Amino acid sequence: MLYAMKEEPRRAAPAGGAARPSSRRVLCAAALALLSAALTACDFRQEAISLSNWTLDFSRNETPFTMYVWNNNPLIPELTVGVKADKPWILVNLGEVVSGAPADPEKGPFDKRVLFVRIDRTQLDEGEHTGTIVFSSKGIKPKEAKVRVVMDQDGRLDSLNIVNAAASYSSPYLIDFMFGVTDKKGDAVVAEPAQFVVEALEGDQPVGANSGLQLRRASTLLLKMDLLMDYSQNMQERAGAIAVMEDTAKNVLLPALNTDAQVGVTEFHRDDRDAESVSGFTVDRAHTRAQIDAIQPDYVRGFYSGARLLDAVVTSCSKFDRDVSKGEARYVILFSDGYDTSSAATLDDAVERARERSVRVYAVGCGGEANLPLLLDLTGRTGGEYFPADTVELLPAAVEDIVQNLEGQYILRWASLSRRDEGFRPSFSLVLGDARAGFKAKDDFNPADHRGDVLHGRLRVQDSSSPGGTSALLRADYIPRFIREIHLFVRSDLDFSVSLVEPADDGLLAGWSMQVSRAFGTAGYWVSLESPGPLLPFAAFGPLVRFDFPGVIPEDQPLFEELYADSGVYEDGIRLDIDGFDNPTND
């Protein structure tokens, strides 16, 4: 209550002192302060936002958290809630959610909207970190969810980082590391291998150049990739998702791959049917595009339902041979919103099948409400990556990120010169400019467990067929020392042409000469390959030559009747063996 006050006559300020405020001014100021406090206490904004969680304690948890947001006010037909984190390391998959009014403010049913929250630990140093997610809407009381994270060590990325590294050991005494390289932003570092300074250790002993130490792009291996495409009901009902998924696969991903990369396609669209292989692995890009175009009219035919996503991952990974993972870089590229309604397989089953076939799963999460817990767990446990595409328009950008990530994959190899029956832990480091990164294997290498004849080179034929023709690459899995020439005997009942694999496709024989001539007295040909001078690097691996066969070839028709490398041109027991073929010069 306000009272009228009689104005007092003003008094002059004392000489040399400040004027004292009048009693009226003091009382008015106090009244205004009380009124402001009362108005502040009386928040006239409506209650409408409900949260499933008031706190998200990630602690040391690496997986995302799920929370729900909904409208609890029956007088607001449709509530749009903005979602914003106050710290950049708190990642939410949506910037806003829209929830309809409940029938009853206490009993519901409520239109709950799912939100996925992740932590980017690469932005955090050691210690405990807290932040807040604010949920707001105009005229509505805002709500907050507190976030807590614990870091046992500094997680901030350096200028150069080795990621998803895996070591493998094989005969004769070979040590291989496959890994990706990223910068401090987490983006792939794409550089020529020669730009890196490479150092390697066997325990605490440096590895010398005479061990064949070499860094190459992972594309030097045969790249085999299966496109696993989701045509289930969720994806079909997402406006434009199917068309953009198909266009992105055909016109963004395929053109970016090496010409010798083999690509297959698998689709899934119904809960009552298994995933189906639409195309086997082939280098024929026109055939792959045509098969993708045929999925909707020939496989789905307007009948789609629940998703058997995990069953489909098992099917896709099973397309890769169990016993021939060495020398291949294997990937499944999954296009999906990540929801599984009907699989018999579990997430562990899918991960195990990928691991046993040495397959890395890359996932493009289609839509802002993609199922992050499943997709992140699947990709993380298989050594793959997750790429968000929160809207249909972002699908091409996500696939371009995949292409860049693939280009930032490398292989480091050397052949150990140690012959003792003693284990040691291999490690290596890379230097690029002023930046350095290192990695140490998790398991010991014991030379006695990987004995082999270092004079016996290993070659392998990898074929790829399609209705338009068949190609076959002769690849090296291991090259012994002092190889300057290769003489191949080739006999086939089919017409064929032969060419060197180009340097752009990581061919090992760049600059070599090639001559093809009839082998007199036989139905075969000699393919003579010679270096102008340099030797093939010791322990080298990669594609050598390509054979192309036109037309459709029956499945029971072998490509080669005879194929071998003449070892008579070498001395001291050196030879090259081609897997699956007899070599009469070695008898």
CA distance 460 to 581: 9
* pLDDT(2) > 80: no
Question: Which tokens is 481 given?
Answer: 């020392």
The Cα-based distances of 106 to 44, 51, 102, 110, 142 in angstroms read 21, 14, 9, 9, 19
Residues 148/56, Cβ–Cβ less than 8 Å? yes
Residues 488/527, Cβ–Cβ less than 8 Å? yes
CATH of 220-407, one of 3.30.2010.10, 2.60.40.150, 3.40.50.410, 3.40.50.10330: 3.40.50.410
Residues 274/342, Cβ–Cβ less than 8 Å? no
Question: Of 459, 454, 566, whose CA–CA distance to 509 is shortest?
Answer: 459
382-400 per-position pLDDT tens digit: 999 999 888 888 899 999 9
* pLDDT(15) > 60: no
Phi, psi of 407 (to 5 degrees): -70, -20
The Cα-based distances of 489 to 223, 483, 564 in angstroms read 27, 17, 5
Phi, psi of 529 (to 5 degrees): -120, 125
147-191 per-position pLDDT tens digit: 999 999 888 888 999 999 999 999 999 999 999 999 988 899 999
* pLDDT(243) > 90: yes
* pLDDT(555) > 60: yes
Give this prediction's pTM.
0.79
Q: Which strands sit side by side in the sheet containing 214-217, from one edge to the other?
A: 161-170, 174-182, 409-415, 214-217
Query: What percent of the chain clears pLDDT 70, i.e. is strictly above it?
Result: 91
466-525 per-position pLDDT tens digit: 667 788 899 999 999 999 999 999 999 999 999 999 888 889 998 999 999 999 989 999
CA distance 351 to 317: 10
pLDDT band at 258 (very low <50, low <70, confident <90, very high): confident
Enumerate the H helices of 22-70 as residue ranges. 23-41
pLDDT at position 503: 86
Per CATH, the architecture of 456-586 is what?
Sandwich (2.60)
SS3 422: coil
pLDDT at position 94: 86
Please name the residues in contact with 207: beta carbons below 8 A apart, sequence gap of 6 or more.
199, 200, 201, 213, 414, 416
Q: Where are the beta strands (DSSP E) in 337-434?
A: 359-366, 386-389, 409-415, 426-432
* pLDDT(325) > 90: no
pLDDT band at 62 (very low <50, low <70, confident <90, very high): confident
Question: Which tokens is 172 given?
Answer: 């004769």
Question: Which tokens is 483 given?
Answer: 């190889």
Ranking 8-22, 281-295, 533-547 by mean pLDDT, the lowest is 8-22
Q: Which CATH number does 49-151 carry?
A: 2.60.40.10
Query: What percent of the chain clears pLDDT 90, i.e. is strictly above it?
Result: 73
Average pLDDT, the chain: 90
pLDDT band at 23 (very low <50, low <70, confident <90, very high): low
79-125 per-position pLDDT tens digit: 999 999 999 999 998 899 999 999 898 888 999 998 889 999 989 99
The average pLDDT across 574-583 equals 94
pLDDT at position 394: 87
Q: Which strands sit side by side in the sheet containing 426-432, from one edge to the other?
A: 205-206, 197-202, 426-432, 435-440
pLDDT band at 231 (very low <50, low <70, confident <90, very high): very high
CA distance 473 to 304: 39
* pLDDT(14) > 70: no
**Beta bridge pairs of residue 178:** 166, 411
Ranking 46-60, 297-311, 493-507 by mean pLDDT, the lowest is 493-507
30-38 long-range contacts, CB within 8 A, separation 24+ = 31/2
Please name the residues in contact with 518: beta carbons below 8 A apart, sequence gap of 6 or more.
525, 526
pLDDT at position 202: 97
Question: Which tokens is 411 given?
Answer: 């292989």
Please name the residues in contact with 381: beta carbons below 8 A apart, sequence gap of 6 or more.
351, 355
* pLDDT(19) > 60: no
Would 49-151 and 456-586 be classified into the same CATH topology? yes
326-382 per-position pLDDT tens digit: 778 999 999 999 999 999 999 999 999 999 999 999 999 998 788 988 999 999 999
* pLDDT(6) > 60: no
Domain boundaries of the chain, sorted by first residue: 49-151, 161-207+416-448, 220-407, 456-586
Please name the residues in contact with 321: beta carbons below 8 A apart, sequence gap of 6 or more.
357
* pLDDT(302) > 60: yes
The average pLDDT across 47-69 equals 92
The average pLDDT across 277-287 equals 92
pLDDT at position 42: 58
